[in-house]
């Protein structure tokens, strides 16, 4: 492909979806990726000894209720139907998340029925005095102080690096409390991991004659040496795009500590959260559990686990999570105003929009923006 109509910066799930959609509309697309391979933070590596698909940047489970998104991704890969369940370790015991009958009955030593749970939770939460003004007040008004202190307070403090009292109430408003024994972490019935691995999804998305991929290319350096007036779809950090002229946005980064253990099954599930302050990491991943259909991998006498440590982002770190506060929203608005001044620029994805999107949300937004650009 010699001619180029459009540049897509970043080969994560947003960028690859944009590129594929534009290519199918007849546009010639150049995808520039800073890393050595496409996939963004969903990139995986297969362990040569055990065959385990290791999620390099933390666990990713595809789940959605969006029909168009599910139809789109299933054009490229088939999912194995894995249903995500999360356990939590607190005070030497293991509990099932999310908050529902299983956890509440075990934690309180009760035998509540579904019809009895709402009244019990309301009693534990007590009567709120005014509208909750921060994360902690909102959480306690939802589930009461004992459950909040056991499963949310210290985990949140580790995850976001600040006192929950200093986080906005909006972060916790999606917290599900289920009056059932449903142990599925996500309510979406469409869930799974690609049977052929996540890397195959990105390879197939980019496998089109109208798409060219160049890796190990830093867009911010590339544009300084290349003159062009082409439209650009950018999915990197929006503050980096403008040279941090208003200062860096607050991000949370992660550090991963991976270990091979010579047992076939170390923790019995894919993810266990550690909610107490006595443990410095937030969770442990055991990757082989994402592919229960791979019987030889499941039976292999070794396993791979990964401890996940949140950390404050500093220049040079990978940004993972936007920190939503009034101050960060004000700074984000300044960068969005800069982007609006650029007529050939579209900024998207989790990093570009500074939004905590799930994968299906990123795909949905990518489809929408690419189709809008092409006039459908």
Tens of pLDDT along 300-320? 999 999 999 999 999 889 999
- Decide if 43 is catalytic: no
Catalytic residue, candidates 43, 252, 350, 365:
252
Question: Do 126 and 231 fall into the same domain?
Answer: no
Question: Do 339 and 357 fall into the same domain?
Answer: yes
Q: DSSP string of 175-228?
A: --EESS----SSS-SEEE-BTT-HHHHHHHHT-STTEEEEES--HHHHHHH---
How many domains is the chain built from? Answer: 3
Question: Do 131 and 256 fall into the same domain?
Answer: no
320 to 309, 317, 337, 349: CA distances (angstroms):
12, 9, 23, 12
Euclidean distance between CA atoms 53 and 287, whole angstroms: 7
Euclidean distance between CA atoms 99 and 151, whole angstroms: 9
Q: How many residues does the chain have?
A: 376
Question: Do 275 and 306 fall into the same domain?
Answer: yes
- Decide if 283 is catalytic: yes
pLDDT tops 70 at residue 129: no
**Residues facing 99 on adjacent strands:** 177
| Mean pLDDT value of segment 333-351 | 97
Tens of pLDDT along 143-202? 999 999 999 999 999 999 999 998 888 777 667 678 999 999 999 989 999 999 999 999
| Cβ contact 255:304 at 8 Å | no
Question: Do 152 and 225 fall into the same domain?
Answer: no
- Decide if 308 is catalytic: yes
Characterize 197-232 residue by residue with b for buried, 16 or more Cβ atoms within 10 angstroms of its Cβ, and e for exposed. bbbbbbbbbbeeebbbbeeeeebeeeeeeeeeeebb
Question: Do 106 and 146 fall into the same domain?
Answer: yes
- Decide if 178 is catalytic: yes
Question: Do 344 and 283 fall into the same domain?
Answer: no
Parent domain of 217? 1-38+206-245+322-376
Catalytic residue, candidates 308, 338, 353, 360:
308
Task: Pull the structure tokens for residue 180.
Answer: 């059932």
Euclidean distance between CA atoms 204 and 286, whole angstroms: 27
Does residue 289 have a cis peptide bond before it, meaning omega lies within 30 degrees of 0? no
Task: Pull the structure tokens for residue 197.
Answer: 């691995």
pLDDT tops 70 at residue 91: yes
Q: Return the sign of the alpha-carbon dihedral for residues 281, 283, 286, 287.
A: negative
Catalytic residue, candidates 190, 283, 350, 365:
283
Euclidean distance between CA atoms 60 and 359, whole angstroms: 8
Catalytic residue, candidates 43, 178, 190, 350:
178
pTM of the shown model: 0.94
Q: What is the pLDDT of residue 147?
A: 95
Closest to 214 measured CA to CA, from 361, 1, 67: 1
Question: Do 295 and 350 fall into the same domain?
Answer: no
Catalytic residue, candidates 49, 111, 131, 174:
174
Question: Residue 200 falls within a domain, yes or no?
Answer: no
Q: In which band, very low, low, confident or very high, does the pLDDT at 338 lie, cut at 50, 70 and 90? A: very high
- Decide if 116 is catalytic: no
Euclidean distance between CA atoms 118 and 61, whole angstroms: 29
């Amino acid at each position: 492909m010699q001619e180029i109509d459009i540049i897509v910066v970043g080969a994560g799930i947003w960028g690859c979806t944009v590129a594929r959609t534009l290519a199918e509309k007849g546009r010639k697309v150049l995808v520039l990726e800073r890393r050595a391979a496409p996939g963004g933070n969903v990139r995986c590596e297969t362990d040569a000894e055990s065959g385990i698909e290791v999620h390099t940047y933390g666990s990713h489970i595809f789940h959605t209720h969006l029909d168009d998104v599910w139809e789109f991704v299933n054009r490229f890969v088939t999912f194995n139907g894995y249903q995500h369940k999360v356990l939590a370790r607190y005070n030497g015991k293991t509990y099932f998340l999310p908050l529902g009958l299983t956890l509440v009955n075990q934690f309180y030593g009760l035998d509540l029925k579904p019809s009895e749970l709402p009244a019990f939770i309301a009693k534990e939460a007590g009567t709120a005095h005014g509208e909750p003004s921060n994360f902690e007040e909102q959480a306690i008004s939802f589930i009461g102080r004992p459950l909040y202190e056991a499963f949310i307070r210290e985990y949140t403090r580790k995850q976001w690096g600040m006192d929950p009292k200093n986080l906005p109430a909006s972060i916790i408003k999606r917290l599900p409390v289920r009056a059932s024994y449903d142990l599925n972490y996500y309510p979406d019935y469409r869930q799974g991991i690609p049977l052929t691995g996540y890397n195959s999804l990105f390879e197939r998305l980019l496998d089109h004659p109208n798409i060219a991929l160049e890796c190990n290319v830093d867009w911010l350096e590339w544009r300084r040496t290349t003159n062009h007036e082409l439209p650009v779809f950018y999915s990197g950090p929006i503050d980096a795009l403008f040279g941090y002229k208003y200062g860096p946005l607050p991000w949370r980064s992660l550090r991963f500590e991976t270990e091979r253990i010579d047992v076939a099954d170390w923790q019995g599930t894919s993810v266990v959260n550690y909610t107490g302050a006595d443990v410095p990491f937030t969770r442990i991943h055991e990757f082989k559990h994402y592919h229960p259909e791979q019987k030889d991998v499941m039976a292999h006498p070794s396993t791979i686990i990964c401890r996940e440590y949140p950390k404050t982002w500093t220049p040079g770190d990978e940004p993972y999570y936007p920190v939503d506060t009034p101050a960060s929203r004000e700074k984000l608005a300044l960068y969005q105003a800069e982007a609006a001044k650029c007529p050939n620029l579209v900024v998207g994805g989790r990093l570009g929009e500074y939004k905590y999107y799930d994968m299906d949300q990123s795909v949905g937004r990518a489809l929408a923006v690419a189709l809008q650009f092409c006039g459908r």
